[in-house]
Structure 1
Protein backbone atom coordinates (compact mmCIF):
# COMPACT_ATOMS: atom_id res chain seq x y z
CA UNK A 1 0.00 0.00 0.00
CA UNK A 2 1.32 3.45 -0.93
CA UNK A 3 0.13 6.24 1.40
CA UNK A 4 -0.81 9.60 -0.04
CA UNK A 5 2.37 11.65 0.41
CA UNK A 6 1.11 15.17 -0.08
CA UNK A 7 -1.85 17.34 -0.95
CA UNK A 8 0.30 18.88 -3.68
CA UNK A 9 1.08 15.63 -5.45
CA UNK A 10 -2.13 13.56 -5.25
CA UNK A 11 -1.99 12.42 -8.85
CA UNK A 12 1.60 11.19 -8.53
CA UNK A 13 0.67 9.23 -5.44
CA UNK A 14 -2.51 7.93 -7.07
CA UNK A 15 -0.64 6.84 -10.19
CA UNK A 16 1.87 4.89 -8.14
CA UNK A 17 -0.83 3.36 -5.95
CA UNK A 18 -2.57 2.16 -9.10
CA UNK A 19 0.71 0.80 -10.42
CA UNK A 20 1.41 -1.14 -7.25
CA UNK A 21 -1.98 -2.83 -7.47
CA UNK A 22 -1.81 -3.63 -11.18
CA UNK A 23 -0.34 -7.12 -10.90
CA UNK A 24 2.68 -8.74 -12.52
CA UNK A 25 2.21 -7.52 -16.10
CA UNK A 26 4.77 -5.00 -17.45
CA UNK A 27 3.77 -1.36 -16.96
CA UNK A 28 7.12 0.18 -17.90
CA UNK A 29 9.30 -0.88 -20.83
CA UNK A 30 12.69 0.64 -21.58
CA UNK A 31 14.98 -0.01 -24.52
CA UNK A 32 18.31 1.64 -25.17
CA UNK A 33 22.04 1.19 -25.65
CA UNK A 34 24.43 1.40 -22.69
CA UNK A 35 28.18 1.35 -23.35
CA UNK A 36 27.52 -0.11 -26.80
CA UNK A 37 25.28 -2.89 -25.50
CA UNK A 38 21.59 -2.96 -26.49
CA UNK A 39 19.29 -3.36 -23.49
CA UNK A 40 15.63 -4.01 -22.94
CA UNK A 41 13.91 -4.07 -19.57
CA UNK A 42 10.30 -4.50 -18.51
CA UNK A 43 9.12 -3.61 -15.01
CA UNK A 44 5.80 -4.52 -13.43
CA UNK A 45 3.71 -1.84 -11.80
CA UNK A 46 4.65 -3.04 -8.34
CA UNK A 47 8.38 -2.95 -9.12
CA UNK A 48 8.11 0.51 -10.72
CA UNK A 49 6.31 1.88 -7.67
CA UNK A 50 8.79 0.21 -5.33
CA UNK A 51 11.76 1.91 -7.00
CA UNK A 52 10.03 5.30 -6.61
CA UNK A 53 9.40 4.55 -2.93
CA UNK A 54 13.04 3.61 -2.39
CA UNK A 55 14.24 6.84 -4.00
CA UNK A 56 11.85 8.90 -1.86
CA UNK A 57 13.00 7.11 1.28
CA UNK A 58 16.66 7.76 0.46
CA UNK A 59 16.03 11.46 -0.18
CA UNK A 60 14.19 11.85 3.11
CA UNK A 61 16.77 9.86 5.06
CA UNK A 62 19.77 11.71 3.66
CA UNK A 63 18.57 15.34 3.53
CA UNK A 64 14.99 15.36 4.84
CA UNK A 65 13.80 16.18 1.31
CA UNK A 66 10.47 17.93 0.96
CA UNK A 67 8.83 21.02 -0.53
CA UNK A 68 11.52 23.39 -1.78
CA UNK A 69 14.22 20.75 -2.17
CA UNK A 70 15.75 20.98 -5.67
CA UNK A 71 16.78 17.67 -7.23
CA UNK A 72 18.78 18.01 -10.45
CA UNK A 73 18.54 14.95 -12.70
CA UNK A 74 21.62 14.96 -14.93
CA UNK A 75 20.49 11.72 -16.56
CA UNK A 76 19.34 10.50 -19.97
CA UNK A 77 15.94 9.11 -20.87
CA UNK A 78 16.04 5.91 -18.84
CA UNK A 79 13.91 3.88 -16.44
CA UNK A 80 16.18 4.87 -13.56
CA UNK A 81 15.61 8.56 -14.36
CA UNK A 82 11.85 8.04 -14.12
CA UNK A 83 12.29 6.32 -10.75
CA UNK A 84 14.26 9.32 -9.48
CA UNK A 85 11.68 11.80 -10.77
CA UNK A 86 8.69 10.02 -9.28
CA UNK A 87 10.54 9.40 -6.03
CA UNK A 88 11.44 13.07 -5.73
CA UNK A 89 7.85 14.09 -6.42
CA UNK A 90 6.59 11.76 -3.70
CA UNK A 91 8.56 13.87 -1.21
CA UNK A 92 7.22 17.13 -2.65
CA UNK A 93 10.62 18.11 -4.05
CA UNK A 94 11.25 20.03 -7.28
CA UNK A 95 12.78 18.06 -10.16
CA UNK A 96 15.21 20.03 -12.31
CA UNK A 97 15.47 18.11 -15.58
CA UNK A 98 18.93 18.55 -17.09
CA UNK A 99 18.34 15.90 -19.76
CA UNK A 100 21.93 15.08 -20.77
CA UNK A 101 21.26 12.51 -23.47
CA UNK A 102 24.67 10.81 -23.57
CA UNK A 103 25.60 11.64 -19.96
CA UNK A 104 28.97 13.25 -20.83
CA UNK A 105 31.36 14.50 -18.19
CA UNK A 106 30.57 18.10 -17.30
CA UNK A 107 32.65 20.70 -15.54
CA UNK A 108 29.99 21.83 -13.12
CA UNK A 109 26.62 20.45 -12.02
CA UNK A 110 23.77 21.50 -14.32
CA UNK A 111 20.73 23.32 -13.04
CA UNK A 112 21.81 26.93 -13.14
CA UNK A 113 24.20 29.02 -11.07
CA UNK A 114 22.44 28.18 -7.80
CA UNK A 115 23.72 24.98 -6.26
CA UNK A 116 20.99 22.34 -6.10
CA UNK A 117 20.28 20.43 -2.91
CA UNK A 118 20.71 17.16 -4.79
CA UNK A 119 22.59 16.18 -7.94
CA UNK A 120 21.78 12.81 -9.47
CA UNK A 121 24.15 12.13 -12.34
CA UNK A 122 25.60 9.42 -14.57
CA UNK A 123 28.90 11.31 -14.79
CA UNK A 124 31.64 10.44 -12.30
CA UNK A 125 33.42 13.75 -12.90
CA UNK A 126 30.20 15.73 -12.40
CA UNK A 127 29.64 13.87 -9.14
CA UNK A 128 33.18 14.62 -7.98
CA UNK A 129 32.83 18.31 -8.88
CA UNK A 130 29.47 18.55 -7.11
CA UNK A 131 30.91 17.11 -3.91
CA UNK A 132 33.78 19.60 -4.15
CA UNK A 133 31.38 22.49 -4.74
CA UNK A 134 29.31 21.65 -1.67
CA UNK A 135 26.14 20.09 -3.09
CA UNK A 136 24.44 18.55 -0.06
CA UNK A 137 23.63 15.17 -1.64
CA UNK A 138 25.39 13.75 -4.70
CA UNK A 139 24.34 10.45 -6.26
CA UNK A 140 26.18 8.63 -9.06
CA UNK A 141 23.85 6.38 -11.06
CA UNK A 142 25.02 3.45 -13.22
CA UNK A 143 23.09 3.37 -16.48
CA UNK A 144 23.32 -0.39 -17.07
CA UNK A 145 19.84 -1.67 -16.29
CA UNK A 146 20.97 -4.67 -14.27
CA UNK A 147 23.86 -2.96 -12.46
CA UNK A 148 23.78 -3.65 -8.73
CA UNK A 149 26.34 -0.95 -7.94
CA UNK A 150 28.56 1.69 -9.53
CA UNK A 151 31.48 0.11 -11.38
CA UNK A 152 34.87 1.81 -11.55
CA UNK A 153 34.89 3.60 -8.23
CA UNK A 154 32.54 5.91 -6.38
CA UNK A 155 33.76 9.49 -5.79
CA UNK A 156 34.34 10.23 -2.12
CA UNK A 157 31.24 11.80 -0.62
CA UNK A 158 28.83 10.49 -3.27
CA UNK A 159 26.17 7.81 -2.88
CA UNK A 160 25.70 4.81 -5.15
CA UNK A 161 22.53 5.26 -7.22
CA UNK A 162 22.01 1.51 -7.45
CA UNK A 163 23.22 -0.08 -4.21
CA UNK A 164 22.20 2.71 -1.83
CA UNK A 165 18.75 2.99 -3.38
CA UNK A 166 18.16 -0.77 -3.38
CA UNK A 167 18.97 -0.88 0.35
CA UNK A 168 15.99 1.35 1.19
CA UNK A 169 12.62 -0.08 2.33
CA UNK A 170 10.14 -1.08 -0.37
CA UNK A 171 7.27 0.86 1.22
CA UNK A 172 7.11 4.64 1.36
CA UNK A 173 8.03 6.10 4.73
CA UNK A 174 6.81 9.38 6.25
CA UNK A 175 7.03 12.41 3.98
CA UNK A 176 6.01 16.02 4.43
CA UNK A 177 2.89 17.64 3.04
CA UNK A 178 3.28 20.11 0.19
CA UNK A 179 0.89 22.39 -1.66
CA UNK A 180 -0.37 22.07 -5.21
CA UNK A 181 1.10 25.49 -6.03
CA UNK A 182 4.64 24.36 -5.21
CA UNK A 183 7.04 23.94 -8.13
CA UNK A 184 7.28 20.31 -9.23
CA UNK A 185 9.38 20.66 -12.39
CA UNK A 186 11.96 23.04 -13.84
CA UNK A 187 13.03 22.63 -17.46
CA UNK A 188 14.84 25.10 -19.72
CA UNK A 189 13.80 28.09 -17.65
CA UNK A 190 10.14 27.03 -17.45
CA UNK A 191 8.36 25.77 -14.36
CA UNK A 192 5.38 23.54 -13.64
CA UNK A 193 3.59 23.27 -10.31
CA UNK A 194 2.28 19.97 -8.97
CA UNK A 195 -1.16 21.00 -10.21
CA UNK A 196 0.33 21.80 -13.61
CA UNK A 197 1.85 18.35 -14.04
CA UNK A 198 -1.56 16.98 -14.94
CA UNK A 199 -3.28 20.08 -16.19
CA UNK A 200 -0.96 22.39 -18.11
CA UNK A 201 0.75 22.11 -21.45
CA UNK A 202 4.02 23.77 -22.32
CA UNK A 203 3.82 27.56 -22.72
CA UNK A 204 3.21 28.27 -26.39
CA UNK A 205 0.61 25.56 -26.78
CA UNK A 206 2.79 22.81 -28.24
CA UNK A 207 1.28 20.29 -25.85
CA UNK A 208 4.72 19.10 -24.77
CA UNK A 209 6.38 18.89 -21.40
CA UNK A 210 9.19 16.79 -19.97
CA UNK A 211 8.89 13.11 -20.85
CA UNK A 212 9.00 12.11 -17.17
CA UNK A 213 5.87 14.11 -16.43
CA UNK A 214 4.16 12.61 -19.48
CA UNK A 215 4.99 9.12 -18.19
CA UNK A 216 3.33 9.82 -14.85
CA UNK A 217 0.28 11.17 -16.67
CA UNK A 218 0.11 7.94 -18.65
CA UNK A 219 0.29 5.86 -15.50
CA UNK A 220 -2.45 7.98 -13.92
CA UNK A 221 -4.75 7.01 -16.80
CA UNK A 222 -3.81 3.31 -16.40
CA UNK A 223 -1.74 3.31 -19.59
CA UNK A 224 1.60 1.55 -19.95
CA UNK A 225 4.79 3.57 -20.42
CA UNK A 226 7.33 2.78 -23.14
CA UNK A 227 10.69 4.58 -23.07
CA UNK A 228 13.14 4.40 -25.95
CA UNK A 229 16.48 6.12 -25.58
CA UNK A 230 20.19 5.91 -26.19
CA UNK A 231 20.90 5.17 -22.52
Structure 2
Protein backbone atom coordinates (compact mmCIF):
# COMPACT_ATOMS: atom_id res chain seq x y z
CA UNK A 1 0.00 0.00 0.00
CA UNK A 2 1.10 3.57 -0.59
CA UNK A 3 2.32 5.70 2.30
CA UNK A 4 0.31 8.61 0.85
CA UNK A 5 -3.03 6.79 1.27
CA UNK A 6 -5.13 8.79 3.73
CA UNK A 7 -8.68 7.55 3.23
CA UNK A 8 -10.22 4.08 2.92
CA UNK A 9 -10.98 4.88 -0.73
CA UNK A 10 -7.27 5.57 -1.24
CA UNK A 11 -6.45 2.13 0.15
CA UNK A 12 -8.85 0.49 -2.29
CA UNK A 13 -7.42 2.43 -5.24
CA UNK A 14 -3.91 1.30 -4.28
CA UNK A 15 -5.05 -2.32 -4.01
CA UNK A 16 -6.66 -2.06 -7.44
CA UNK A 17 -3.49 -0.62 -8.97
CA UNK A 18 -1.27 -3.27 -7.36
CA UNK A 19 -3.15 -6.47 -8.28
CA UNK A 20 -6.78 -6.24 -9.37
CA UNK A 21 -7.16 -10.01 -9.86
CA UNK A 22 -6.25 -11.17 -6.36
CA UNK A 23 -9.00 -12.06 -3.85
CA UNK A 24 -9.95 -9.30 -1.44
CA UNK A 25 -13.11 -10.46 0.36
CA UNK A 26 -14.26 -14.06 0.64
CA UNK A 27 -17.58 -14.28 2.48
CA UNK A 28 -19.18 -17.28 4.15
CA UNK A 29 -22.57 -17.54 5.83
CA UNK A 30 -22.42 -20.78 7.75
CA UNK A 31 -26.15 -20.73 8.44
CA UNK A 32 -26.99 -20.90 4.72
CA UNK A 33 -23.88 -22.44 3.14
CA UNK A 34 -23.27 -19.33 1.04
CA UNK A 35 -19.77 -18.58 -0.22
CA UNK A 36 -18.91 -15.50 -2.28
CA UNK A 37 -15.41 -14.52 -3.39
CA UNK A 38 -14.69 -11.04 -4.69
CA UNK A 39 -11.43 -10.05 -6.31
CA UNK A 40 -10.12 -6.53 -5.79
CA UNK A 41 -11.51 -5.59 -9.21
CA UNK A 42 -14.96 -7.06 -8.55
CA UNK A 43 -15.16 -5.52 -5.10
CA UNK A 44 -14.08 -2.13 -6.49
CA UNK A 45 -16.76 -2.40 -9.17
CA UNK A 46 -19.44 -2.94 -6.53
CA UNK A 47 -18.06 0.02 -4.59
CA UNK A 48 -18.12 2.25 -7.69
CA UNK A 49 -21.71 1.32 -8.51
CA UNK A 50 -22.81 1.87 -4.91
CA UNK A 51 -20.97 5.20 -4.68
CA UNK A 52 -22.67 6.31 -7.91
CA UNK A 53 -26.03 5.33 -6.41
CA UNK A 54 -25.23 7.39 -3.32
CA UNK A 55 -23.90 10.45 -5.10
CA UNK A 56 -26.09 10.41 -8.21
CA UNK A 57 -29.44 8.88 -7.38
CA UNK A 58 -29.58 9.84 -3.69
CA UNK A 59 -27.72 13.17 -4.00
CA UNK A 60 -25.48 12.37 -1.05
CA UNK A 61 -22.54 14.69 -0.42
CA UNK A 62 -19.60 14.98 1.99
CA UNK A 63 -20.75 15.51 5.55
CA UNK A 64 -23.98 13.57 5.17
CA UNK A 65 -24.59 10.76 7.64
CA UNK A 66 -25.73 7.25 6.76
CA UNK A 67 -27.00 4.79 9.36
CA UNK A 68 -25.74 1.35 8.36
CA UNK A 69 -27.97 -1.31 9.90
CA UNK A 70 -26.22 -4.37 8.51
CA UNK A 71 -24.28 -7.32 9.96
CA UNK A 72 -20.76 -8.37 8.97
CA UNK A 73 -21.32 -9.18 5.29
CA UNK A 74 -19.57 -8.57 1.99
CA UNK A 75 -22.22 -6.04 1.01
CA UNK A 76 -21.64 -4.16 4.25
CA UNK A 77 -17.97 -3.90 3.33
CA UNK A 78 -19.01 -2.51 -0.06
CA UNK A 79 -21.17 0.15 1.57
CA UNK A 80 -18.38 1.17 3.95
CA UNK A 81 -16.02 1.82 1.05
CA UNK A 82 -18.74 3.48 -1.04
CA UNK A 83 -19.49 5.92 1.75
CA UNK A 84 -15.77 6.65 2.07
CA UNK A 85 -15.57 7.26 -1.68
CA UNK A 86 -18.29 9.92 -1.56
CA UNK A 87 -17.28 11.43 1.79
CA UNK A 88 -20.43 10.27 3.60
CA UNK A 89 -20.00 9.28 7.24
CA UNK A 90 -21.03 5.65 7.76
CA UNK A 91 -22.50 5.09 11.22
CA UNK A 92 -22.62 1.36 11.94
CA UNK A 93 -25.73 0.72 14.00
CA UNK A 94 -26.43 4.46 13.99
CA UNK A 95 -29.72 6.06 14.95
CA UNK A 96 -31.81 6.31 11.77
CA UNK A 97 -33.74 9.25 13.19
CA UNK A 98 -30.53 11.31 13.21
CA UNK A 99 -29.27 10.12 9.81
CA UNK A 100 -29.68 11.58 6.34
CA UNK A 101 -29.88 8.07 4.86
CA UNK A 102 -30.38 4.55 6.11
CA UNK A 103 -29.20 1.24 4.65
CA UNK A 104 -30.77 -1.75 6.35
CA UNK A 105 -30.88 -5.52 6.17
CA UNK A 106 -33.95 -7.56 7.09
CA UNK A 107 -33.38 -7.20 10.84
CA UNK A 108 -33.05 -3.42 10.66
CA UNK A 109 -35.99 -2.56 8.43
CA UNK A 110 -38.43 -1.58 11.20
CA UNK A 111 -35.92 0.65 12.98
CA UNK A 112 -34.79 2.22 9.72
CA UNK A 113 -38.22 3.70 9.04
CA UNK A 114 -37.34 6.42 11.57
CA UNK A 115 -35.05 7.96 8.95
CA UNK A 116 -36.72 10.84 7.11
CA UNK A 117 -34.32 10.60 4.18
CA UNK A 118 -33.87 7.95 1.53
CA UNK A 119 -33.86 4.35 2.68
CA UNK A 120 -32.18 1.41 0.96
CA UNK A 121 -32.93 -2.22 1.85
CA UNK A 122 -30.69 -5.24 1.31
CA UNK A 123 -32.11 -8.75 1.36
CA UNK A 124 -28.69 -10.24 2.25
CA UNK A 125 -29.88 -13.33 0.38
CA UNK A 126 -27.31 -15.51 -1.44
CA UNK A 127 -26.04 -13.97 -4.67
CA UNK A 128 -27.34 -10.57 -3.61
CA UNK A 129 -30.89 -11.43 -4.67
CA UNK A 130 -33.63 -8.81 -4.59
CA UNK A 131 -36.67 -8.93 -2.34
CA UNK A 132 -39.76 -10.56 -3.90
CA UNK A 133 -41.44 -7.22 -3.14
CA UNK A 134 -39.47 -4.18 -1.93
CA UNK A 135 -40.11 -3.50 1.77
CA UNK A 136 -42.51 -0.64 2.35
CA UNK A 137 -40.66 2.65 2.62
CA UNK A 138 -37.47 1.32 1.00
CA UNK A 139 -35.81 1.03 -2.36
CA UNK A 140 -34.30 -2.40 -3.07
CA UNK A 141 -30.51 -2.19 -3.41
CA UNK A 142 -30.45 -5.22 -5.74
CA UNK A 143 -32.83 -3.40 -8.10
CA UNK A 144 -31.16 0.01 -7.94
CA UNK A 145 -27.44 -0.77 -8.12
CA UNK A 146 -26.95 -2.85 -11.33
CA UNK A 147 -27.66 0.07 -13.66
CA UNK A 148 -25.14 2.38 -11.97
CA UNK A 149 -21.85 3.26 -13.63
CA UNK A 150 -18.77 1.08 -13.24
CA UNK A 151 -16.47 4.04 -12.63
CA UNK A 152 -16.81 6.61 -9.89
CA UNK A 153 -15.44 10.12 -9.47
CA UNK A 154 -16.51 12.26 -6.50
CA UNK A 155 -18.02 15.64 -7.28
CA UNK A 156 -16.04 17.01 -4.33
CA UNK A 157 -12.64 15.63 -3.22
CA UNK A 158 -12.92 13.66 0.02
CA UNK A 159 -11.22 15.41 2.96
CA UNK A 160 -9.24 12.85 5.00
CA UNK A 161 -9.70 15.02 8.10
CA UNK A 162 -13.49 14.76 8.01
CA UNK A 163 -15.49 12.02 9.74
CA UNK A 164 -15.56 8.76 7.78
CA UNK A 165 -16.81 6.15 10.26
CA UNK A 166 -18.71 5.94 13.52
CA UNK A 167 -18.61 2.55 15.21
CA UNK A 168 -19.48 1.66 18.82
CA UNK A 169 -19.66 5.36 19.69
CA UNK A 170 -16.22 6.23 18.29
CA UNK A 171 -15.94 8.68 15.40
CA UNK A 172 -12.92 8.37 13.11
CA UNK A 173 -11.77 10.60 10.30
CA UNK A 174 -10.55 8.97 7.13
CA UNK A 175 -6.94 9.60 8.13
CA UNK A 176 -7.47 8.23 11.64
CA UNK A 177 -9.15 5.14 10.24
CA UNK A 178 -6.24 4.44 7.90
CA UNK A 179 -3.69 4.92 10.67
CA UNK A 180 -5.56 2.60 13.04
CA UNK A 181 -5.89 0.00 10.31
CA UNK A 182 -2.15 0.21 9.63
CA UNK A 183 -1.40 -0.09 13.35
CA UNK A 184 -3.56 -3.21 13.63
CA UNK A 185 -1.89 -4.67 10.55
CA UNK A 186 1.54 -4.17 12.17
CA UNK A 187 0.35 -5.63 15.48
CA UNK A 188 -1.07 -8.71 13.74
CA UNK A 189 1.93 -9.14 11.46
CA UNK A 190 -0.03 -8.60 8.26
CA UNK A 191 1.55 -7.86 4.92
CA UNK A 192 0.97 -8.44 1.22
CA UNK A 193 -0.54 -11.88 0.76
CA UNK A 194 -1.79 -12.18 4.35
CA UNK A 195 -5.21 -13.78 4.62
CA UNK A 196 -7.28 -12.99 7.72
CA UNK A 197 -10.24 -15.12 8.77
CA UNK A 198 -12.63 -13.08 10.90
CA UNK A 199 -15.75 -14.23 12.67
CA UNK A 200 -16.12 -10.95 14.52
CA UNK A 201 -19.26 -8.86 14.07
CA UNK A 202 -19.02 -5.39 12.58
CA UNK A 203 -20.27 -3.68 15.77
CA UNK A 204 -16.86 -2.51 16.99
CA UNK A 205 -13.57 -1.23 15.60
CA UNK A 206 -12.03 -4.62 16.39
CA UNK A 207 -14.64 -6.23 14.15
CA UNK A 208 -14.40 -3.93 11.13
CA UNK A 209 -10.61 -3.83 11.32
CA UNK A 210 -10.32 -7.63 11.47
CA UNK A 211 -13.01 -8.08 8.83
CA UNK A 212 -11.91 -5.42 6.34
CA UNK A 213 -9.65 -2.47 7.06
CA UNK A 214 -6.45 -4.01 8.45
CA UNK A 215 -6.06 -6.48 5.59
CA UNK A 216 -6.90 -3.77 3.05
CA UNK A 217 -4.24 -1.49 4.55
CA UNK A 218 -1.64 -4.27 4.47
CA UNK A 219 -2.29 -5.53 0.95
CA UNK A 220 -3.89 -8.70 2.25
CA UNK A 221 -7.36 -10.23 2.05
CA UNK A 222 -10.21 -11.26 4.32
CA UNK A 223 -12.22 -14.45 4.82
CA UNK A 224 -15.31 -12.94 6.45
CA UNK A 225 -17.48 -15.49 8.24
CA UNK A 226 -21.03 -14.93 9.44
CA UNK A 227 -22.54 -17.47 11.85
CA UNK A 228 -19.10 -19.04 12.30
CA UNK A 229 -20.25 -20.98 15.38
CA UNK A 230 -22.28 -23.20 13.04
CA UNK A 231 -19.05 -24.51 11.53
CA UNK A 232 -17.51 -26.22 14.56
CA UNK A 233 -13.84 -26.67 15.39
CA UNK A 234 -13.08 -29.28 12.73
CA UNK A 235 -14.87 -27.29 10.06
CA UNK A 236 -12.89 -24.21 11.02
CA UNK A 237 -9.63 -26.13 10.69
CA UNK A 238 -10.63 -27.30 7.21
CA UNK A 239 -11.54 -23.76 6.17
CA UNK A 240 -8.26 -22.35 7.44
CA UNK A 241 -6.43 -24.92 5.34
CA UNK A 242 -8.56 -24.63 2.20
CA UNK A 243 -8.58 -20.81 2.22
CA UNK A 244 -4.86 -20.60 3.07
CA UNK A 245 -5.60 -18.43 6.08
CA UNK A 246 -2.59 -16.89 7.82
CA UNK A 247 -4.39 -15.35 10.82
CA UNK A 248 -7.59 -16.37 12.60
CA UNK A 249 -9.55 -13.74 14.54
CA UNK A 250 -12.64 -15.76 15.30
CA UNK A 251 -13.77 -13.84 18.37
**Aligned pair partner of 2:65 in 70, 73, 88:** 70
1:28 aligns with 2:22: no
Where does the alignment leave 5 or more consecutive residues of structure 1 unmatched? 1-8, 99-110
What are the residue-to-residue correspondences of 1:156-167 with 2, within 5 Å?
A: 156-167=136-147
The alignment of Structure 1 onto Structure 2 pairs a total of residues equal to 203
C-alpha distance after superposition, 1:39-74 (max 9, x if no partner):
111111100011111111001113322221111111
Q: Does 1:117 align with 2:100?
A: yes
Whether the 8 Å contact between 1:29 and 1:226 is mirrored in structure 2 is yes
3-state DSSP class of the match of 2:71? coil
- CA shift digits 1:196-225 (9 cap, x unpaired): 1022489xxx99725335513322321112
Which segments of 5 or more consecutive residues in structure 2 lack a partner in the other structure? 189-203, 229-251
Residue aligning to 2:214: 217
TM-score for the superposition, normalised by structure 2: 0.71
Q: How is 1:82-231 mapped onto 2 (pairs within 5 angstroms)?
A: 82-98=77-93, 111-112=94-95, 114-123=97-106, 126-127=108-109, 130-131=112-113, 133-151=114-132, 153-200=133-180, 209=205, 211-214=207-210, 215-230=212-227
1: CA distance between counterparts of 2:21 and 2:74? 17
Partner of 1:104: none
Structure of higher RCO (CA pairs closer than 8 Å, 6+ residues apart): 1
For 2:65 and 2:80, the matched residues in 1 are separated by 11
- Aligned to 1:175, what secondary structure does the other structure show? coil
Distance 1:146 1:63 in 2: 24
More helix per residue: 2
Distance 2:154 2:38 in 1: 25
SS in 2 for 1:146: helix
2:145 partner SS: helix
Counterpart contact for 1:16–1:219, Cα < 8 Å: yes
Alignment CA distance shift 1:199-1:23 (3 Å): closer
Contact 1:128 1:156 in 2 (8 A): no
Structure 1-normalised TM-score?
Answer: 0.77
Q: Distance in 1 between matches of 2:53 and 2:164?
A: 18
Q: Deviations over 1:149-169 (max 9, x none)?
A: 223x21344211222112211
Quote the offset at 1:119 in angstroms: 0.8
- CA distance in 1 between counterparts of 2:136 and 2:10 reads 37
Asked if the contact 1:119/1:127 (under 8 Å) is kept, the reply is no
Larger Rg: 2
Q: How has the CA–CA distance of structure 1 residues 134 and 81 changed in structure 2, closer, same or farther, with 3 Å as cutoff?
A: closer
C-alpha deviation, 1:128, in angstroms: 5.8
Contact 2:24/2:38 (CA < 8 Å) preserved in 1?
yes
CA distance in structure 1 between the partners assigned to 2:34 and 2:96 by the alignment:
35
